[in-house]
């Protein structure tokens, strides 16, 4: 007990001393001067560092650090994201959590592991069978698992999207074979695909399906559920979950649309106007379904392109038959389609200019404070270790180096605390955007919120910081250096005046 009290008393006395000092100072050696010590005690420095650690462990700080780190990597996956997915999958397997298993299956980069996790998720919850059609393969095309896609086609038989995926599994190898031989024309592609009865059957069922759903909203709702239950997930995983959703096969859809137009022209030329009109109406109806029921702007644009093609043919068809009223109605509808296409083409920038500029300024502040905090962490660790290990007397020629280290030990920890708090403060607009994304139910709205209205501005500010050699940045740097030099001269003069 006596030993413990003595140790505690000595330890407290040691904490009250400046960093680098001893409880019992040694004698001076020849050619040495008494060591310069910081003005702040170890206790003060430790309190500042503990406060900094407390700030960094706040949920807001962890979210800010994770998001900034992801922006430095361009929101691409890294090893830490893979480890997080492995831990999440292990916990989900243990808890029999079907939704978390499905989420990991959709975002994990390993196709074999993805298929195994998807199988487990569907066994636990058969309603998740749509995940077989919701994984994008990149950079090389990998078709959905045959068994999984076949089961999805049986369960969701009135949906056009699984049929399009099945058609793509046939289209892609044939198209790649054509590219390997020569540059195929649209006619070459149409002939190669039309020769496949299975491809034609899938596309015919897709165009006659009663509805169109690419499962994008379901995927976002699943992602949102897992994200809200695991708020520490990297925003990269959430961002890539949106980015990695498969798009409908534009090649198969447009090729089959052209085939329908050719069939209609042949039927009209053979004296079967009813058949020709029915084929063009079929194309227009499918385009309307994709436009009205598609979750992505790209899907809506695809549907409008199909409707524009069908309506343009109908206009000429009615004009040739002398049906002026119907031809004029087609002209009016074409104008509506063009107006809607123009609106979608310009919808990628949803932010008002003042809001965008404010976010860009915040993004620069966030990135600068993050870099400053990282730099200050390194300097603080280096100076504190140098002071504690360098216990001997200082040589005269090292006087200024020791003095600078002591100044750094006094002020860098407090500056680090301010930098970390500033990072959280400047990150607030992005935290609000992420919180908004956690609450929206539409996948398209979440994509616009996180990408065009949020994370993109945080990432794009790096381009400014990564190009320091432009004339504007050169003169900005010169101005900052001159201001810093003027402040240093003023502070040095005041310090000398005070000492005198």
DSSP per residue, 157-198: TTBHHHHHHHHHHHHHHHHHHHHHHS---HHHHHHHHHT-HH
Residue 16: per-residue pLDDT: 60
**H helices present in 125-271, as ranges:** 146-155, 160-181, 186-194, 197-208, 216-229, 235-243, 250-269
Task: Look at residue 203 and tell me whether its pLDDT is greater than 90.
Answer: yes
- What SS3 class is residue 413? helix
Residue 235 and residue 434 in contact, taking contact as beta carbons nearer than 8 Å: yes
* Of 12 and 202, more confident: 202
* pLDDT given for residue 212 in this prediction: 94
Which residue carries 């860098």 as its tokens?
Answer: 412
> How far is 479 from 456, CA to CA, in rounded Å?
29
- DSSP reduced 3-state for 32: strand
DSSP 453: I
- Band (pLDDT 50/70/90 cuts) for residue 342 is confident
Q: Is 395 strand, coil or helix?
A: strand
pLDDT score, position 302: 92
Tokens read off for 285:
């109806």
Of residues 114 and 289, the one with the higher pLDDT is 289
Q: Say which residues have a Cβ less than 8 Å from residue 357's Cβ, sequence separation at least 6.
A: none
- Mean pLDDT in the chain? 80
pLDDT of 279 reads 93
Q: How confident is the model at residue 28 (pLDDT cuts 50, 70, 90)?
A: very low
Q: Which pLDDT score is estimated for 397?
A: 46
Q: CB of 217 within 8 A of CB of 295?
A: yes
- Say yes or no to pLDDT of 493 above 60: no
What number of other Cβ atoms are within 10 A of residue 103's Cβ? 32
- The pLDDT, as a whole number, for residue 41 is 72
What DSSP character marks residue 131?
G
Distance, in Å, from the CA atom of 355 to the CA atom of 360, rounded to the nearest integer, reads 9
How many residues comprise the chain?
Answer: 500
Residue 109: both structure tokens together: 């980069």
**Which neighbouring-strand residues pair with 395?**
32
Tokens of residue 440, six digits: 């929206």
Q: State the first-to-last Cα distance of the chain, in angstroms, to the nearest integer.
A: 52
Beta bridge partners of 32: 395
Mean pLDDT of 248-272: 91
Question: For residue 344, what are the CA distances in angstroms to 6, 292, 299?
Answer: 76, 13, 11
What phi, psi does 468 have (nearest 5°)? -80, -5
In tens, the pLDDT along 163-194 reads: 999 999 898 888 888 888 777 788 888 888 88
Q: Which pLDDT does position 1 carry in this prediction?
A: 60
Q: Between these two residues, 158 and 464, which has the higher pLDDT value?
A: 158
Residues facing 33 on adjacent strands = 394
Side-chain half-sphere CA neighbours of 50 within 13 A: 6
Residue 302 to residue 433: CA distance in whole angstroms: 29
257 pLDDT more than 80: yes
Check residue 398 and give its pLDDT.
Answer: 56
Return the SS3 of 67.
Answer: helix
Output the CA–CA distances (angstroms, integers) from residue 261 to 61, 189, 473, in the order listed: 57, 15, 56
Q: How many CB atoms lie under 10 A from the CB of residue 394? A: 17
Prior bond of 139 cis (ω within 30°): yes
Query: Which pLDDT value is given to residue 283?
Result: 93
Tokens 């360098």: give the residue. 390
Asked if the model's pLDDT at residue 25 lies above 60, the reply is no
Q: DSSP assignment, residue 398?
A: G
Enter the tokens of residue 409. 């030990």
Structure-token match 């077989």, residue found: 132
Within 294-398, residue ranges assigned H as helices are 297-321, 324-345, 353-389
359-416 pLDDT per residue, tens: 778 888 888 888 888 888 888 888 777 776 755 554 544 556 667 777 777 788 888 8
357 vs 6 pLDDT, higher one? 357
The CA distance from 245 to 136, in Å, is 6
């Amino acid at each position: 007990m006596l030993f413990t009290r003595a140790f505690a008393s000595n330890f407290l006395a040691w904490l009250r001393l400046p960093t680098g000092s001893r409880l019992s100072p040694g004698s001076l050696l020849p050619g040495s001067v008494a060591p310069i010590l910081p003005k702040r005690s170890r206790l003060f420095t430790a309190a500042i560092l503990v406060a900094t650690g407390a700030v960094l462990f706040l949920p807001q700080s962890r979210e800010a650090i994770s998001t900034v780190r992801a922006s430095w990597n361009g929101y691409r996956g890294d090893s830490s994201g893979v480890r997080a997915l492995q831990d999440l999958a292990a916990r989900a397997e243990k808890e029999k959590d079907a939704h978390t298993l499905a989420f990991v299956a959709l975002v994990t980069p390993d196709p074999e592991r993805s298929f195994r996790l998807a199988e487990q998720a569907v066994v636990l919850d058969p309603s998740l069978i749509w995940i077989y059609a919701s994984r994008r393969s990149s950079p090389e095309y990998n078709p959905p698992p045959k068994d999984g896609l076949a089961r999805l086609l049986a369960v969701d038989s009135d949906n056009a999207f699984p049929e399009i995926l099945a058609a793509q599994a046939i289209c892609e190898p044939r198209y790649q074979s054509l590219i390997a031989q020569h540059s195929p024309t649209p006619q070459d592609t149409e002939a190669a695909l039309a020769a496949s009865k299975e491809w034609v059957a899938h596309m015919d069922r897709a165009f006659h399906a009663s509805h169109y759903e690419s499962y994008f909203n379901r995927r976002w709702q699943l992602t949102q559920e897992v994200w809200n239950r695991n708020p520490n997930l990297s925003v990269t995983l959430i961002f890539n979950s949106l980015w990695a959703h498969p798009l409908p096969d534009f090649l198969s859809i447009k090729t089959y649309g052209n085939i329908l137009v050719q069939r209609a022209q042949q039927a009209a030329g053979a004296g079967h106007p009813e058949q020709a009109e029915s084929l063009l109406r079929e194309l227009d109806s499918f385009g309307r379904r994709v436009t009205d029921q598609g979750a992505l702007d790209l899907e809506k644009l695809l549907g409008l392109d199909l409707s524009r093609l069908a309506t343009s043919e109908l206009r000429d068809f009615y004009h040739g038959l002398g049906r002026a009223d119907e031809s004029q109605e087609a002209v009016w509808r074409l104008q509506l389609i063009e107006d809607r296409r123009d609106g979608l083409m310009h919808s990628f920038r949803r932010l008002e200019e003042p809001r965008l500029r404010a976010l860009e300024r915040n993004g620069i502040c966030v990135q600068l404070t993050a870099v400053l905090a990282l730099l200050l962490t390194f300097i603080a660790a280096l100076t504190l270790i140098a002071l504690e290990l360098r216990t001997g007397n200082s040589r005269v020629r090292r006087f200024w180096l020791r003095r600078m280290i002591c100044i750094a030990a006094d002020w860098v920890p407090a500056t680090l605390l301010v930098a970390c708090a500033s990072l959280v403060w400047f990150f607030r607009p992005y935290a609000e955007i992420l919180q908004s994304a956690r609450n929206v139910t539409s996948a398209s709205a979440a994509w616009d919120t996180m990408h065009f209205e949020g994370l993109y501005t945080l990432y794009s500010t790096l381009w400014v910081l990564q190009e320091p050699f432009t004339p504007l940045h050169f003169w900005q740097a010169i101005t900052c250096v001159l201001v810093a030099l003027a402040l240093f001269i003023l502070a040095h003069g005041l310090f000398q005046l005070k000492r005198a």
